[in-house]
């Protein structure tokens, strides 16, 4: 059963809900959907799962009408695997956009239309279900023939089917026919709707993939022989390779790890050499320096780039037609119009080292937000797409939570508690070095800092941290190796409370995201000490691996935690930012996948080389 | 180089021709044309100036879920219709306030109201509207006030330290919403808590690091405990219930600044 179906404006006003369904939704699935999915540039996904407090767990599906600025959301119990929801949403969208008037806010007359649409959709789903177990071509051909035979055929079929179905269903189908117009082709229509849904689902989510694959099989078996459903067939076959591609993508682990391991250790040593002894003052940390971008030159560059980009585009399309289109403003943007521009944009993002999966999802989300929209006059599609992408990027990279660490430190100080930061990450990304940089920055703000050497795993780790502590002249808490890091951290925090340190920076052992025992240990450390900030240290060099690292870290922290609401990664420290030139994609990938902001950027070998992320500059670079 | 020379001579010729042509026109016509030209430019300029000084834009801001959209529709239609969900885009409209349109008193100026979503990812939108604003209504959820205290304060602090607010001395109404519920906090309580929290923020943000956070101005008077009365712009506090339509204080605020 459908739990609820809502129609609301992007501004947030509910225009219509189904009162008949009348189920009060538990929790706030709609708000959660908007906040954590639609506004996080994940609207390209096929569905969203929401677990309400209590037992209910919902699946939400949605569709946009971008030109009118409307959102359609359907909510149903997850266990039900409703097959007709996508189709129903599309139908509701089509019907509702006919009667929509921006000045009107109430649509009680839509109740009746909806009742019919729903019955229609349910009937169709029922039909598909019945067809499925039979599975033989003969039967299906029969259905199709009847369907293409037009109105009468449809009716006949309904009569014959009604015998098998219970009374209610029969009624539903009759109603459907009453509503439809003469050339209504039941099977064709149904499949088209499903086909669309299929492509979408295959590309992204495994939710309900079960149902979809079944449907797909069904389709390729059944509809092949008809002529008027060739669209569907081609769509179905198109969906297949897509599926394969995503599968390939999922095998992250096999991808080469950018020779990272060989690279980092020397860097760390270098770092130690370069930092002079008695480095207690190397000047202001770059965290506090206003970044001055030579905006003029950059802008010039950008313009040039745009010029370059546009040329081949324009040539392909033919000078005149593109010119005409740009002046007249094209009616409504369609997926096919957007495709080339999106493809180009995706490639551009990928050359900037954005993980492929992320680039793909972003483009889908941008497509979802543009499809059906009126294009403004005097604009090219590529620039419309680019503008939409820029907006999306601004949204993603704008921190969701406060990244004002100093304030939180002050707040903790007031409560006479040390502010605890745990640095986590894979091996050799520069955790200790950057921990020292953060310490240096905090010292400059007259915050007393203590280090806790909880890397009791890698030999030399404690010594390395001790060197930093000596140079910065701050206390370090260490218990040697072979100790449980969680306990060491705990003792360190107790010590800090005793001696009145404001901040405890906890260094942990680097670990690969797949190393279960070590991840379990980390989860324990975090659970036991409940730090104020879990900082993920990641290399700006990583490409596709960024997704795997962060998602697995978060996943493992959630899975292996013994507490009901586990702590996840709160923020990101991006290291080696000075070595990547314009390949700044890792920043985007990491923020997107974790939903946490980049709080620091390490950009060099000295203690002062710690910066804030310059969101504007990143976006500029990404889209260049 | 040659090309440029050629252009120059050509241009000179045209100029000559132009002058000759001008000589042929009777001087009265010429003067009239010049006068018309001057007049129109002046007119355009004054219109622009007037538009600038007499903005009619009121910006509704505040955290997500504080009730801005409900308030927006109350102001416009006198009803919150069938409820709201989290906004993904600003709501904008130029209208007579609903309570006034009933009276029809002749020449009241319509208000341009903008409801900027509170979701932190959409906050950059606020900067688009502030430069043309005549006043800001900062909506606070008086029901769920304490759990959100630090987030509310941070947002308010950011607004109160923006150049577009301080420089233009934009009036701010802190609107404690949802007072229809008995458990809602009073506006006095909310004011005190906000002042206390801002004081903390001020300490941690000023002095230490100006470049860290993109605040344009610092708040209050150094050495004194912060209170809203220290702000250069006028900050007032009021109560409302968007859901039940008790929004008279908001309407008064709007009418005080959009005339
Ligand atoms: N009790 C009560 N509830 C209210 C009042 N005003 C708003 N609400 C409720 O608060 C919730 C959020 O209201 P919205 O107006 O959508 O919030 P918003 O400020 O626009 O939120 P964003 O769009 O996310 O920024 C809704 O469920 C309203 O019913 C009020 O005066 N009293
Ligand atoms: Mg809203």
A450 Cα–ligand 2 center, Å: 44
Q: Are residues B20 and B61 in the same domain?
A: no
**Residue B144: CB within 6 Å of ligand 1?**
no
For A370-380, how does the pLDDT look when each residue is reduced to its tens digit (9 = 90+)? 888 877 777 78
**Rounded to an integer, what distance in angstroms lies between the CA atom of residue A612 and that of residue B213?**
10
Interfacial A residues in 44-63 facing B (CB < 8 Å) = none
- Residue A167, exposed/middle/buried by CB under 10 A (0-12, 13-18, 19+)? exposed
Closest to B123 (Cβ–Cβ): which among A34, A398, A410? A398
The whole-number pLDDT of residue A438 equals 93
The whole-number pLDDT of residue A257 equals 39
Q: Are residues B63 and B106 in the same domain?
A: yes
> Among the atoms of ligand 1, which is closest to the Cα of residue B177?
31
Q: Which residue has the tokens 């009126």?
A: A374
Task: Report, as an integer, the average pLDDT of B213-229.
Answer: 76
Q: Select the CATH number that applies to the domain covering A405-622 from these four: 3.40.50.300, 3.10.180.10, 3.40.50.980, 3.90.320.10.
A: 3.40.50.300
Greater pLDDT, B49 or B60: B60
* Contact between A106 and B81 using a beta-carbon 8 Å cutoff: yes
Task: Report, as an integer, the average pLDDT of A222-243.
Answer: 36
Residues of A in contact with B150 (CB under 8 A): 402, 411
Q: The domain containing residue B74 runs over which residues?
A: 55-257
Q: Are residues B43 and B59 in the same domain?
A: no
Angle, helices A356-370 vs A381-397, to 10°: value is 120
The whole-number pLDDT of residue A456 equals 83
Q: Which residue has the tokens 């999922």?
A: A250
Residue A309 has pLDDT above 90, yes or no: no
Residue B145 has pLDDT above 90, yes or no: yes
State both tokens at B26.
């009777």
Residue B117 has pLDDT above 50, yes or no: yes
Task: Report, as an integer, the average pLDDT of A209-238.
Answer: 36
A242 Cα–ligand 2 center, Å: 38
Chain B contact for A16 (CB, 8 A cutoff) = yes
Task: Report, as an integer, the average pLDDT of A355-360.
Answer: 90
The whole-number pLDDT of residue A558 equals 84
**Which residue spans within A445-512 are E strands per DSSP?**
449-454, 476-478, 503-508
* Most confident range, picked from A82-96, A259-273, A552-566: A82-96
- Residue A233, exposed/middle/buried by CB under 10 A (0-12, 13-18, 19+)? middle
> Among the atoms of ligand 1, which is closest to the Cα of residue B116?
25
**Residue B83: CB within 6 Å of ligand 1?**
yes
Q: Which residue has the tokens 């409302």?
A: B240
Beta bridge partners of A184: none
Percent of chain A at pLDDT exceeding 90:
21
Chain B contact for A27 (CB, 8 A cutoff) = no
Longest dimension (CA), chain B: 85
- Nearest C-alpha neighbor of A497 from the set A445, A556, A549, A419: A419
- Closest residue in A to B71 (Cα) is A13
The whole-number pLDDT of residue B14 equals 83
Q: Whose CA is nearest to atom 22 of ligand 1?
A: B64
**Which residue spans within A445-532 are E strands per DSSP?**
449-454, 476-478, 503-508
Greater pLDDT, A438 or B209: A438
Chain B contact for A293 (CB, 8 A cutoff) = no
DSSP state of B229: G
The band of A285, judged by pLDDT with boundaries at 50, 70 and 90, is confident
Closest to B84 (Cβ–Cβ): which among A14, A404, A446? A14
Q: Are residues B121 and B8 in the same domain?
A: no
Q: Are residues B88 and B122 in the same domain?
A: yes
- Nearest C-alpha neighbor of A89 from the set A67, A72, A108, A114: A72
- Residue A336, exposed/middle/buried by CB under 10 A (0-12, 13-18, 19+)? exposed
For A168-187, how does the pLDDT look when each residue is reduced to its tens digit (9 = 90+)? 443 333 333 334 333 333 33
**Residue B137: CB within 6 Å of ligand 1?**
no
Greater pLDDT, A285 or A478: A478
The whole-number pLDDT of residue B20 equals 79
Q: Are residues B252 and B140 in the same domain?
A: yes
B70 Cα–ligand 1 center, Å: 6
Q: Which residues contact A458 (CB under 8 A, 6 or more apart)?
A: A427, A509, A510
Beta bridge partners of A9: A70
B80 Cα–ligand 1 center, Å: 10
Residue A484 has pLDDT above 60, yes or no: yes
**Residue B66: CB within 6 Å of ligand 1?**
yes
Q: Which residues contact B31 (CB under 8 A, 6 or more apart)?
A: none
A67 Cα–ligand 2 center, Å: 20
Closest to B121 (Cβ–Cβ): which among A400, A414, A446? A400
The answer to whether A520 touches A560, Cβ cutoff 8 Å, is yes
> Among the atoms of ligand 1, which is closest to the Cα of residue B83?
29
State both tokens at B190.
């909310």
The band of A71, judged by pLDDT with boundaries at 50, 70 and 90, is very high
**Rounded to an integer, what distance in angstroms lies between the CA atom of residue A556 and that of residue A553?**
5
B67 Cα–ligand 1 center, Å: 3
**Rounded to an integer, what distance in angstroms lies between the CA atom of residue A431 and that of residue A535?**
10
Q: Are residues B135 and B237 in the same domain?
A: yes
Domains A2-131 and A405-622 share a fold: no
Q: Are residues B160 and B240 in the same domain?
A: yes
* Per-residue buried b or exposed e for A403-428, using 16+ beta carbons within 10 Å of the residue's own CB: bbbbbbbbbbbeeeebbbbbbbbbbb
Q: Select the CATH number that applies to the domain covering A2-131 from these four: 3.40.50.620, 3.30.450.60, 3.50.50.60, 3.40.50.300.
A: 3.30.450.60
**Which residue spans within chain B are E strands per DSSP?**
57-62, 91-95, 111-115, 133-141, 172-177, 235-239
The whole-number pLDDT of residue A209 equals 34
| CA distances for A333 relative to A64, A65, A198, A470, angstroms | 13, 12, 22, 62
Q: Are residues B20 and B124 in the same domain?
A: no
Give the count of domains, chain B: 2
Task: Report, as an integer, the average pLDDT of A471-487.
Answer: 88
Closest to B209 (Cβ–Cβ): which among A39, A106, A288? A288
* Contact between A35 and B64 using a beta-carbon 8 Å cutoff: yes
**Rounded to an integer, what distance in angstroms lies between the CA atom of residue A151 and that of residue A12?**
41
Residues of A in contact with B204 (CB under 8 A): 404, 406-407, 409-411
Residue A265 has pLDDT above 60, yes or no: no
| Residue extents of the structural domains in chain A | 2-131, 136-173+182-269, 329-397, 405-622
For A345-354, how does the pLDDT look when each residue is reduced to its tens digit (9 = 90+)? 999 999 888 9
The answer to whether A129 touches A190, Cβ cutoff 8 Å, is no
The answer to whether A209 touches A166, Cβ cutoff 8 Å, is no
State both tokens at B74.
């109350």
Long-range residue pairs from A410-414, CB within 8 A, at least 24 positions apart, any chain: A410/B200, A410/B203, A410/B204, A411/B150, A411/B200, A411/B204, A412/A502, A412/A532, A413/A502, A414/B200
Distance from CA of B120 to the nearest CA of A (A): 5
Q: Are residues B46 and B61 in the same domain?
A: no
The whole-number pLDDT of residue A53 equals 75
The band of A192, judged by pLDDT with boundaries at 50, 70 and 90, is very low
The whole-number pLDDT of residue B239 equals 94
Distance from CA of B237 to the nearest CA of A (A): 25
Angle, helices A186-204 vs A356-370, to 10°: value is 140
Residues of A in contact with B122 (CB under 8 A): 39, 395
**Rounded to an integer, what distance in angstroms lies between the CA atom of residue A561 and that of residue A520?**
8
List the single range of A157-166, A418-427, B9-18, B178-187 with lowest mean pLDDT. Answer: A157-166
List the single range of A227-236, A522-531, B165-174 with lowest mean pLDDT. Answer: A227-236
Residue B16 has pLDDT above 80, yes or no: yes
Q: Are residues B7 and B117 in the same domain?
A: no
| CA distances for B241 relative to A180, B186, B246, angstroms | 47, 12, 5
Q: Which of B60, B66, B81, B86 to mutate to test the interface with A (most CBs of A within 10 A)?
A: B86
For A25-52, how does the pLDDT look when each residue is reduced to its tens digit (9 = 90+)? 778 889 999 988 888 888 888 889 888 7
The whole-number pLDDT of residue B133 equals 93
Chain B contact for A34 (CB, 8 A cutoff) = yes
Residue A576 has pLDDT above 80, yes or no: yes
Q: Which residue has the tokens 């006028």?
A: B234
Task: Report, as an integer, the average pLDDT of A217-239.
Answer: 36
H or E element, residue A246: helix A230-250
The answer to whether B224 touches B161, Cβ cutoff 8 Å, is no
């Amino acid at each position: 059963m459908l739990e609820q179906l809502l129609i609301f404006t992007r501004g947030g006003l509910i225009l219509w809900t189904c009162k008949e369904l009348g189920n009060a939704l538990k929790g706030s699935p709609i708000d959660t959907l908007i906040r954590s999915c639609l506004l996080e540039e994940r609207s390209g996904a096929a569905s969203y799962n929401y677990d309400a407090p209590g037992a209910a767990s919902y699946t939400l599906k949605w569709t946009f009408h971008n030109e009118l600025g409307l959102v359609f959301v359907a909510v149903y119990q997850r266990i039900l695997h409703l097959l007709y929801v996508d189709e129903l949403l599309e139908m509701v969208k089509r019907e509702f956009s006919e009667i929509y008037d921006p000045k009107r806010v109430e649509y009680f007359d839509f109740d009746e239309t909806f009742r019919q649409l729903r019955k229609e959709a349910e009937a169709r789903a029922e039909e598909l279900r019945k067809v499925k177990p039979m599975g033989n071509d003969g039967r299906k051909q029969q259905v199709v023939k009847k369907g293409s035979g037009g109105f009468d055929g449809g009716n006949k079929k309904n009569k014959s089917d009604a015998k098998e179905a219970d009374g209610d269903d029969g009624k539903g189908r009759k109603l459907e026919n009453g509503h439809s117009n003469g050339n209504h082709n039941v099977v064709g229509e149904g499949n088209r709707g499903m086909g669309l849904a299929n492509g979408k689902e295959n590309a992204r989510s495994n939710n309900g993939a079960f149902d979809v694959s079944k449907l797909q099989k069904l389709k390729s078996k059944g509809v092949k022989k008809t002529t008027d459903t060739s669209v569907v067939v081609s769509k179905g076959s198109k969906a297949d390779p897509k599926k394969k591609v995503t599968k390939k993508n999922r095998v992250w682990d096999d991808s080469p790890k950018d020779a990272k391991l060989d690279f980092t250790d020397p860097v760390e040593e270098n770092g130690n050499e370069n930092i002079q002894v008695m480095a207690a003052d190397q000047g202001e940390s770059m965290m506090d320096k206003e970044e001055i971008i030579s905006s003029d030159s950059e802008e010039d560059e950008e313009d040039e780039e745009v010029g370059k980009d546009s040329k081949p585009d324009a040539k392909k399309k033919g000078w005149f037609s593109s010119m005409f289109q740009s002046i007249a403003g094209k009616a409504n943007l369609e997926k096919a119009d957007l495709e080339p521009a999106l493809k180009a944009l995706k490639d551009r993002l990928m050359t900037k080292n954005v993980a492929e999966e992320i680039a793909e999802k972003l483009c889908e989300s941008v497509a979802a937000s543009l499809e059906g929209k009126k294009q403004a006059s005097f604009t090219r599609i590529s620039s419309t797409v680019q503008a939409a992408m820029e907006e999306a990027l601004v949204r993603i990279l704008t921190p969701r939570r406060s990244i004002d660490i100093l304030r939180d430190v002050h707040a903790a100080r007031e409560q006479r508690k040390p502010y605890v930061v745990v640095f986590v990450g894979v091996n050799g990304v520069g955790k200790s070095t950057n921990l020292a940089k953060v310490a240096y920055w905090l010292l400059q703000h007259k915050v007393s800092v203590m280090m806790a050497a909880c890397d009791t795993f890698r030999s030399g780790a404690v010594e390395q941290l001790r060197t930093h502590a000596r140079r910065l002249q701050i206390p370090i808490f260490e218990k040697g190796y072979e100790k449980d890091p969680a306990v060491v951290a705990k003792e360190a925090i107790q010590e800090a409370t005793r001696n009145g340190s404001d901040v405890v920076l906890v260094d942990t052992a680097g670990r690969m995201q797949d190393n279960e025992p070590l991840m379990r240990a980390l989860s324990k450390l975090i659970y036991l000490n409940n730090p104020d900030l879990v900082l993920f240290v990641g290399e700006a060099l990583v490409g596709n691996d960024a997704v795997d690292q962060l998602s697995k870290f978060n996943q493992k922290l959630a899975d292996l935690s013994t507490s009901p609401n586990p702590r996840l990664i709160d923020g990101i420290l991006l290291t080696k930012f000075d070595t990547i030139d314009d390949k700044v994609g890792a920043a985007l990938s990491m923020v997107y996948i974790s939903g946490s902001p980049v709080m620091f950027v390490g950009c060099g070998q000295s203690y002062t080389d710690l910066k804030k992320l310059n969101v504007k500059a990143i976006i500029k670079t990404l889209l260049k | 180089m040659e090309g440029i020379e050629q252009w120059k001579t050509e241009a000179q010729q045209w100029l000559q021709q132009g002058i000759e042509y001008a000589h042929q026109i009777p001087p009265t016509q010429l003067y009239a044309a010049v006068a018309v030209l001057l007049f129109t430019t002046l007119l355009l300029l004054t219109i622009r100036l007037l538009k600038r000084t007499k903005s009619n834009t009121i910006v509704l801001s505040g955290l997500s879920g504080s009730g801005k959209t409900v308030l927006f529709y109350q102001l416009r239609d006198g009803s919150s219709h069938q409820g709201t969900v989290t906004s993904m885009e600003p709501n904008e409209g130029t209208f007579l306030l609903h309570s006034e349109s009933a009276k029809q008193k002749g020449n009241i100026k319509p208000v341009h109201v903008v409801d900027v979503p509170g979701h932190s990812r959409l906050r950059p939108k606020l900067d688009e509207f502030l430069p043309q604003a005549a006043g800001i209504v900062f909506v606070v959820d008086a029901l769920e006030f304490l759990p959100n205290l630090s987030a509310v304060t941070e947002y308010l602090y950011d607004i109160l330290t923006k150049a577009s607010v301080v420089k233009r001395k934009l009036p701010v109404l802190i609107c404690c919403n949802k007072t229809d519920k008995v458990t809602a906090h009073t506006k006095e309580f909310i004011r005190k808590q906000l002042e206390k929290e801002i004081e903390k923020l001020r300490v941690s943000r000023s002095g230490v690091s100006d470049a860290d956070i993109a605040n344009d101005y610092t708040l209050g008077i150094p050495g004194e405990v912060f209170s809203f009365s220290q702000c250069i712009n006028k900050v007032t506090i009021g109560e409302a219930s968007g859901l039940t339509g008790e929004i008279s204080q908001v309407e008064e605020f709007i009418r005080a600044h959009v005339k």
